[in-house]
């Protein structure tokens, strides 16, 4: 689908894409080195033949429980080209205690909020981001809830919750202090 | 600002106003922290997340089918499109082809909900600019659609309709005839709304050339759907990458020019008419046949089989307890929902649960562009701008 775009990126930036694969639905993915993502994004957007002007999304996956768990975080970037009527899918893999990826909010304005979302829920830092705050959760929130090691039922209320008698689930502390 | 030497110095400072979180014009609960210089917005910072429900975390802890009710709550005005968008992505991941009749029913009910979404949006624009009658006509038409959806799915808003591999039930008897009559009624009601708003002096003054965004900026922010098309960009996933049976149906994609509030309003009015066309054609073309694939690894067996045979019982038990076994892999797939591209990035580890379920909500991108559209504009222009982008709290805040 986006073979042409990935070929062209490889031709212009030979070391940027480290791996390519096709997913089950036939979508082609390119795995990009973290330090090269900004160059790749700006090439895709500004090359007149590629013209990937439409910012689609940035998502993150915590691979902690997958068979291949290293590096731990996998960010996927999707951009669209109306001229070529296709989408390009890129991946960036980062690990470590303080995962860091360069921001692309200078290339696509829409990336600003998506990067904030991934910082909020996965704790991936986007270096050079102009305003890296939490976006859906509140600033006092501790931890990053979509990480696989964040417990499903963990609660951290801003004000103490009243205990509510509930056998299985529901709001409050379920009668337990 | 030049001051004459003789004028007394009058110190002024910018004023910060909080609009929301509970404000009738802030659909859902969004708080806008607005810095004003006089009546002009200098800076706007939306703060949202009050409706955050942990959609993705819940999805990762349920089976593939159990995610379906959560998708109702994303865009609660047009939940069927979320249901089918999610199911479409899961089916892509498994590699399933659903029966023809199911595709047609998905198209018909999606387009019904697209009309409902646009009618609600248009009605709300009218309401918040002071035209209550337009809202009543819009909502009356929407209620008729909600009635049809109730007959189809059994629920007014939280539809949870469709299953992996097709649909959980066929159309009720005589439903298509009632739909055709409903379409006639809706087009007459939409005509009333059109008559009340489209050439209304006050409405045009409030919406024309307010909340303008250029095509370049709109693409950059990730605008899709009617808001992108209002800027003059012809991009509709139903045409660009047709899914289901959209390539067999004849419809037009309206494209605007100026990217202002008035164009976004016109896009929605025209799309209501186009959806009407699509539904009429789809009802004519719809074949008879099964609505779900006959594969017990994915779809529940018919009830006589479950209660009468051991194979049926086992298949039912395994599907309910373990969920659909989706092979390991990943997919990014998108459909055109009422507000734009509804994308799903699904990762499966081969178990019965989604390992990762990312939703690319169209309104999220639209809301991020709002600051660009209103900075430097009057405070009063914020209201129609916020209305016409049709931000839905449920899908932005997940």
* DSSP state for residue A138 in the 8-state scheme: -
Q: Which of B11-20, B182-191, B323-332, B368-377 has the lowest mean pLDDT?
A: B11-20
B49·A136 Cβ contact <8 A: yes
Higher pLDDT, B15 or B114: B114
By DSSP bridging, strand A86-94 and strand A73-81 are: antiparallel
- Which residues of chain B neighbour A89 with C-beta distances below 8 Å? 332
Task: From chain A, pick out residues whose CB is under 8 angstroms from the CB of B31.
Answer: none
Distances (CA, A) of B193 to B207, B210, B249, B389: 16, 21, 27, 18
**SS3 of B150, please?**
helix
pTM over 0.90: no
Lowest-pLDDT choice from A1-5, A123-127, B28-32, B139-143: A1-5
pLDDT grade for B373, boundaries at 50, 70 and 90:
confident
Work out the average pLDDT over B133-150.
91
pLDDT tens sequence across B245-264: 998 999 999 998 888 899 99
| Interface contact B330-A82, CB threshold 8 A | no
For residue B34, what pLDDT is reported? Answer: 87
**Which of A29, A37, A93, A88 lies closest to A66, judged by CA?**
A93
Question: What mean pLDDT do residues B278-286 have?
Answer: 91
Looking at residue A169, what is its pLDDT? 58
Q: What is the model's pLDDT at position B104? A: 93
**Mutation for testing the A interface, residue in B213, B356, B360 having most A CBs under 10 Å:** B356
Q: A109 and B217 in contact by Cβ < 8 A?
A: yes
Give chain A positions within 8 Å (CB) of B331: 23-25, 27
What 3-state class would DSSP assign to B80?
helix
- For B35, the token pair is 């810095």
Residue of chain A minimizing CA distance to B216: A53
Using DSSP's 3-state secondary structure scheme, residue B82 falls into helix
pLDDT-derived band of residue B102, with 50, 70 and 90 as boundaries?
very high
Proportion of chain B above pLDDT 90, given as a percent: 31
User: Is residue B397's pLDDT more than 90?
Assistant: no
Report, as an integer, the average pLDDT of B363-369. Answer: 89
* Cβ contact B233:B216 at 8 Å: no
Comparing B152 with A16, which gets the higher pLDDT? B152
Q: Are A59 and B345 within 8 A, CB to CB?
A: yes
- pLDDT average, residue stretch A153-160: 77
Helices B132-153 and B100-128 cross at an angle (nearest 10°) of 160
Q: Which site among A28, A57, A147, A149 would you substitute to test the B interface, given the most B Cβ atoms closer than 10 Å to its Cβ?
A: A57
Task: Give chain A positions within 8 Å (CB) of B235.
Answer: 54, 80, 82
Q: Is the pLDDT of residue A175 over 70?
A: no
Contacts of B362 in chain A (CB under 8 A): none
Peptide bond into A168 cis (omega under 30): no
Question: pLDDT digit string (tens) for A50-94?
Answer: 888 899 999 998 888 888 888 889 999 999 888 888 888 899 998
Q: Quick one: pLDDT at residue B132?
A: 87
Minimal Cβ distance to B356: which of A61, A145, A152: A61
Which residues in chain B touch residue A67, judged by CB atoms under 8 angstroms apart? 349
Over the stretch B328-340, which tens digit does the pLDDT of each residue have?
A: 888 998 999 988 8
Residue B258: the pLDDT is 87
Q: Helix count (H) and strand count (E) of chain B?
A: 16, 6
pLDDT score at A177: 45
Tell me the residues of A at the B interface, defined by beta carbons under 8 Å apart.
Answer: 23-25, 27, 53-57, 59-62, 65-67, 76, 78, 80, 82, 85, 87, 89, 108-110, 112-114, 117, 121, 135-138, 145-146, 152
The whole-angstrom separation of Cα A34 and Cα A74 is 10
pLDDT of residue B109: 92
For residue A174, pLDDT over 60 is answered with no
pLDDT 10s digits, A116-147: 999 999 989 998 888 888 888 888 888 888 88
Mean pLDDT across the stretch B283-301?
89
Distance from CA of B364 to the nearest CA of A (A): 8
CB atoms within 10 A of CB B205: 12
- Token duo for residue B217: 């900026």
Residue of B nearest to A104 (CA): B220
Region A149-177 average pLDDT: 67
Tokens for B265? 């309003």
The SS3 assignment for B328 reads: coil
Which among A153, A156, A112, A152 is positioned nearest to A135, based on CA atoms? A112
Note the pLDDT of residue B146.
93
Query: B333–A25: do the CB atoms touch at under 8 Å?
Result: yes
**Is B56 in contact with A121 (Cβ distance < 8 A)?**
yes
Residue A173 — pLDDT band, cuts 50, 70, 90?
low
**Separation between Cα atoms, residue A90 and residue B188, nearest integer Å:** 47
Using a CB-CB cut-off of 8 Å, the residues of chain B touching A54 are 219, 222, 224, 235
Look at residue B370 in the predicted model and tell me its pLDDT: 87
Q: Which of B49, B235, B341 sits opposite A82 (nearest CB)?
A: B235
Give backbone dihedrals phi and psi of A54, rounded to 5 degrees, phi first: -90, 115
Beta carbons of A23 and B241 less than 8 Å apart:
no
What rounded mean pLDDT belongs to chain B? 88
Beta carbon pairs, A and B, within 8 Å: 110
Alpha-carbon distance values, B277 to B180, B329, B337 (Å)? 11, 38, 17
What is the residue-averaged pLDDT of chain A? 83
Q: Taking residues B345-360, what's their average pLDDT? A: 89
Q: What is the Cβ-side half-sphere exposure of residue A111, based on CA atoms within 13 angstroms? A: 27
Pairwise pLDDT comparison (A163 vs B224), residue with the higher score: B224
Task: Look at A156-170, B170-184, B242-256, B353-367 and tell me which has the smallest mean pLDDT.
Answer: A156-170
CA distance B162 to chain A (A): 21
Do the Cβ atoms of B62 and B86 come closer than 8 Å?
A: no
């Amino acid at each position: 689908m986006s073979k042409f775009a990935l070929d062209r990126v490889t031709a212009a930036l030979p070391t940027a894409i480290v791996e390519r694969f096709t997913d089950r639905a036939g979508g082609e993915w390119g795995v990009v080195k973290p330090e090269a993502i900004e160059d790749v994004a700006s090439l895709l957007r500004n090359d007149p033949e590629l013209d990937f002007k439409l910012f689609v999304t940035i998502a993150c996956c915590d691979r902690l429980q997958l068979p291949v768990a290293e590096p731990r975080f996998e960010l996927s970037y999707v951009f669209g080209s109306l001229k070529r009527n296709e989408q390009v899918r890129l991946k960036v893999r980062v690990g470590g205690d303080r995962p860091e990826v360069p921001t692309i909010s200078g290339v696509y304005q829409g990336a600003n909020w998506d990067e904030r979302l991934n910082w909020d829920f996965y704790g991936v830092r986007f270096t050079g981001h102009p305003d890296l705050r939490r976006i859906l959760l509140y600033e006092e929130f501790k931890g990053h809830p979509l990480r696989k090691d964040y417990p499903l039922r963990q609660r951290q209320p801003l004000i103490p919750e009243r205990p509510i008698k509930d056998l299985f689930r529901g709001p409050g502390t379920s009668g337990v202090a | 600002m030049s001051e004459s030497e003789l004028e007394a110095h009058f110190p002024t400072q910018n004023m910060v106003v909080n609009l929301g979180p509970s404000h009738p014009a802030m659909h859902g609960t969004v708080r806008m922290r607005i810095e004003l210089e006089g009546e002009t917005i200098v800076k706007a910072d939306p703060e949202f997340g009050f409706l955050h429900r942990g959609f993705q975390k819940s999805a990762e802890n349920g089976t593939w089918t159990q995610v379906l009710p959560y998708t109702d709550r994303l865009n609660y005005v047009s939940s069927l499109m979320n249901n089918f968008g999610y199911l479409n992505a899961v089916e892509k991941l498994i590699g399933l082809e659903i029966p023809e009749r199911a595709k047609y029913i998905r198209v018909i009910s999606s387009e019904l909900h697209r009309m409902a979404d646009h009618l609600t949006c248009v009605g709300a624009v009218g309401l918040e600019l002071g035209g209550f009658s337009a809202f009543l006509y819009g909502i009356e038409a929407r209620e008729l659609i909600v009635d049809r959806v109730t007959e189809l799915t059994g629920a007014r808003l939280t539809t949870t309709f469709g299953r992996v591999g097709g649909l959980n039930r066929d159309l009720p008897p005589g439903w298509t005839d009632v739909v055709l009559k409903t379409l006639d009624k809706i087009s007459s009601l939409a005509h009333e709304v059109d008559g009340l708003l489209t050439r209304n002096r006050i409405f045009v003054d409030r919406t024309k050339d307010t909340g303008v965004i250029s095509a370049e900026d709109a693409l950059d922010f990730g605008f899709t759907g009617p808001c992108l098309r209002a800027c003059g960009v012809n991009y509709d996933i139903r045409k660009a990458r047709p899914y289901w049976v959209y390539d067999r149906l004849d419809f037009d994609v309206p494209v605007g020019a100026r990217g202002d509030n008035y164009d976004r309003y016109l896009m929605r009015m025209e799309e209501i008419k186009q959806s009407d066309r699509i539904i009429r054609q789809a009802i004519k073309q719809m074949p008879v046949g099964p609505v779900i694939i006959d594969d017990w690894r994915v779809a529940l067996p018919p009830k006589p089989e479950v209660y009468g045979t051991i194979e049926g019982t086992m298949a039912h038990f395994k599907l309910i307890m373990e969920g659909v076994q989706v092979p390991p892999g990943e997919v990014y797939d998108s459909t055109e929902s009422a507000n734009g591209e509804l994308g799903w990035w699904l990762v499966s580890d081969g178990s019965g649960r989604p390992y990762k379920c990312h939703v690319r909500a169209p309104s999220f991108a639209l809301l991020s562009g709002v600051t660009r559209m209103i900075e430097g504009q009057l405070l009063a222009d914020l209201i129609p701008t916020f209305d016409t982008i049709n931000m839905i709290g449920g899908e932005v805040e997940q």
